[in-house]
Amino acid sequence: MHDLRTAAFIAYKSILKGNKSTFILLIFILSLSFLNMMFISGILNGLENLFYRTIINTYASDVAVNPQEKPELKQFILNQNEVQAEIQSIPGVIATTRRYSLAGSISFDKDKNGQFKNVSGAIIGIDPTQEQKVLTLNNLIISGHYLSDTDSDQILLSSALAGGYGIPAPSDLGGARVGDKVQITYSNGVMKTYTIKGIYNDAIGIFETFITAREAESVLNVYNSASQILVKTDIDHTPITTYQKRIQQLQSNLKIQTYLDLLGSFKSFLDALNLISVIVSAISVLVAAITIFVIIYVNAINKRKQIGILKAIGIRQTIIIWSYIFQSLFYALFGVIIGSFIVFLIITPLLNKYPINVEFGYLYLVHNPITIIGGIISMFLAGLLAGYLPARIVARQNIIKAIWG
Amino acid sequence: MITVKNLKKTYPGKVPTPALKGLSFIVQSGEFIALTGRSGSGKSTLLHQLGLLDNPTEGNIMIDQTDVLALSDTKKTFYRLTSLGYVFQEYALVAEFTALENVLLPAMALGNHNDQKERAKELLSLVGLEERLNYYPNELSGGQQQRVAIARALINHPKILFADEPTANLDTASSKTVLDIFLKLNKEEKLTIIMVTHEPDYAKLAQRNIELLDGLIIKDKKQ
């Protein structure tokens, strides 16, 4: 114990009476390393968060109830009014909405010369008023208007499918706009002409075209059914899996999925974001470790003679090594404190007030406790290693060589 | 008592350099010995071997029945801390420590920090620095720094004090002060002192003079 106390005392005095410029430079670099680690991971977390939010709000909702798959695959959820009412009665369920999924081909003759451009894709029938309580499609309208419950010959078109909005799509209609007429040929052979009522911003690439549920029922010739019921829940207070289980208990024959099951191709994108976050954090920690190592090593080399003298008067090597470890841990601590101050008390509040506007929403810095704790632990581990290695190299030198060269 | 038998030290290299060529002698407890000789005669090398700062190539050193060369590095370090005191030519103080802290450092390493604070002050008083306890080395003269180094060497009650040309960088007055302290310690505390010096006048103050030439003892005379 007194070894550690002696080491701490040597470290304390070395820092207190050491070179102030070196101290400031070291703390500055370490603060930047920590800040960089927290900022990049915060941005990537924010981006991930924004993606989840966008997917939940515009596409997947929290929970999706799908038709029975086993023992026999059904096309629709029958008696959807009753099913929806039952789900709605679960505590914590905020709203539900049904959807019809159809497939079809949309044709558009922009120049009215008989040259049609065609795109194939999903046509979704929605209850516009109810849909607004679950998803935010209505907020994404960039041209024209959102659908009304009674609309029958109007559609909402994706900006990616409309074309000319700078959003890449496998194919588009070459510049369809609000008021233009398009023809949809459904997979069941029904062919109808619709007017584009609105175009929504499809930055994340949903590529879906919306009609009213009423219109979908007329095309499909069904009633009181749904291809899917989307459920908005209070997931901030109850885990999503709890809702999944409760709904499953009520509707044991239906297939219940959470937004996590519906991520699809976004999953790989989000995984890539996580990987980038880990790589950037690792690089920041490495930079911090190398910085501490170099400075402690140079410091130890400069104090080689002093180290030799300490050994000569009987100070144990472990005390000397620990004194350097304490110094580097102190530098790491200071770096973390100052870096935290900048990132959590300056940058984060600033970005919360003025978030970065990206194509599909506002990007905030999001810090999660695991990343923060991981960052702090990484900085301290880096400090521990970067203090230990150079001190050990120098402290192991022969006393005579250390003192007299 | 220190018993040195056939002590040899050869520095390795393309052409190995023999620095000590088989020295044997006995130092009685309480003796004050001056090690003299020309530059390169091996006196500092001998002091380093006796002070356990270096390992001889061959030979044997017994200090009070302890075969000190057989000790592990860790035990040698502990032995230096508890039983040996060392005063270097260039004061060798820790720049970031005050005079008092420099003296206390070996006691702190031994876990006696609080108990020894008064002794540290007494030792600094013994070497005439009671007014300079909280001065840093760069605020002290060379002679004062050397006296702090002496106080530090004494803090853990060593059996033997090794001094490697302790007056080489000091003016005459400071040198005299340092030597007076050594004489006082030797006389009053019965401390064994082995001092390397170039100065014949200072060597005469010791009870015994061992003179080396080319790694061999050419004179071992009681004075």
Give the amino acid at B153: A
Q: pLDDT at position B170, please? A: 82
Please count the structural domains in chain B: 1
What is the percent of chain B where pLDDT is above 90?
A: 66
In this complex, the residue of B94, B96, B106 whose CB is nearest that of residue A314 is B106
- Which residues from B are below 8 Å from A403, CB to CB? 88, 92
**Final residue belonging to a domain, choices A258, A293, A328:** A258
pLDDT at B17 over 80: yes
| A23 interfacial to chain B (CB closer than 8 Å) | no
Answer yes or no: do A184 and A237 share one domain.
Answer: yes
CA distances from B118 to A10, A170, A263, A312, A335 (A): 20, 86, 73, 24, 39
B64 lies in a domain? no
| B183 interfacial to chain A (CB closer than 8 Å) | no
Answer yes or no: do A239 and A320 share one domain.
Answer: no
| B152 interfacial to chain A (CB closer than 8 Å) | yes
| A319 interfacial to chain B (CB closer than 8 Å) | yes
Answer yes or no: do A213 and A307 share one domain.
Answer: no
Specify the DSSP class assigned to residue B69. G
Q: Which of A3, A4, A6, A313 to mutate to test the interface with B (most CBs of B within 10 A)?
A: A313
- The ipTM, to two decimals, is 0.89
In this complex, the residue of B53, B84, B110 whose CB is nearest that of residue A399 is B53
Answer yes or no: do A227 and A277 share one domain.
Answer: no
Answer yes or no: do A178 and A247 share one domain.
Answer: yes
Answer yes or no: do A285 and A189 share one domain.
Answer: no
Mean of the per-residue pLDDT values for chain B? 91
Residue A79: how many CA atoms within 13 Å on its side-chain side? 8
Task: Name the residue of chain A whose CA is nearest to B149's CA.
Answer: A313
Q: pLDDT at position A340, please? A: 93
Give the gap in angstroms from C-alpha A11 to the nearest C-alpha of chain B: 10
Please count the structural domains in chain A: 2
The answer to whether residues B33 and B27 touch, using CB atoms and an 8 Å cutoff, is yes
Report the relative pairing of strands A361-363 and A356-358 from DSSP bridges: antiparallel
Q: pLDDT at position A236, please? A: 77
B116 lies in a domain? yes
Give the amino acid at A230: L
**Final residue belonging to a domain, choices A235, A258, A281:** A258
Q: pLDDT at position A405, please? A: 67
- Which residues from A are below 8 Å from B88, CB to CB? 309, 312, 403
Answer yes or no: do A67 and A117 share one domain.
Answer: yes
| A9 interfacial to chain B (CB closer than 8 Å) | yes
Answer yes or no: do A240 and A282 share one domain.
Answer: no
**Final residue belonging to a domain, choices A204, A237, A258:** A258
CA distances from A343 to A275, A282, A365 (A): 22, 18, 10
Expressed as residue numbers, the domain containing A187 is 62-258
B14 lies in a domain? no
User: What CATH number should be reported for the domain holding residue B95?
Assistant: 3.40.50.300
| B113 interfacial to chain A (CB closer than 8 Å) | yes
| B82 interfacial to chain A (CB closer than 8 Å) | yes
Mean pLDDT of B187-199: 92
| A19 interfacial to chain B (CB closer than 8 Å) | no
Phi-psi region of A314 (alpha: psi -120 to 50; beta: other; left: phi over 0): left
The answer to whether residues B100 and B121 touch, using CB atoms and an 8 Å cutoff, is yes
From A168-172, B55-59, B68-72, B112-116, the region with the lowest mean pLDDT? B112-116
**Highest mean pLDDT pick, A211-215, A299-303, B64-68, B167-171:** A211-215
Answer yes or no: do A298 and A200 share one domain.
Answer: no
B60 lies in a domain? no
Residues of chain A with pLDDT under 70: 405
In this complex, the residue of B48, B94, B153 whose CB is nearest that of residue A306 is B94
Q: Is B106–A9 a contact, with Cβ atoms under 8 angstroms apart? A: no
Mean pLDDT of B29-37: 94
Answer yes or no: do A40 and A171 share one domain.
Answer: no
Expressed as residue numbers, the domain containing B121 is 30-41+72-222
Answer yes or no: do A206 and A288 share one domain.
Answer: no
| A16 interfacial to chain B (CB closer than 8 Å) | yes
- Which residues from B are below 8 Å from A319, CB to CB? 109
Answer yes or no: do A290 and A241 share one domain.
Answer: no
Q: Is A2–B152 a contact, with Cβ atoms under 8 angstroms apart? A: no
B48 lies in a domain? no
B163 lies in a domain? yes
What are A153-163's pLDDT values in tens digits?
Answer: 999 999 999 99
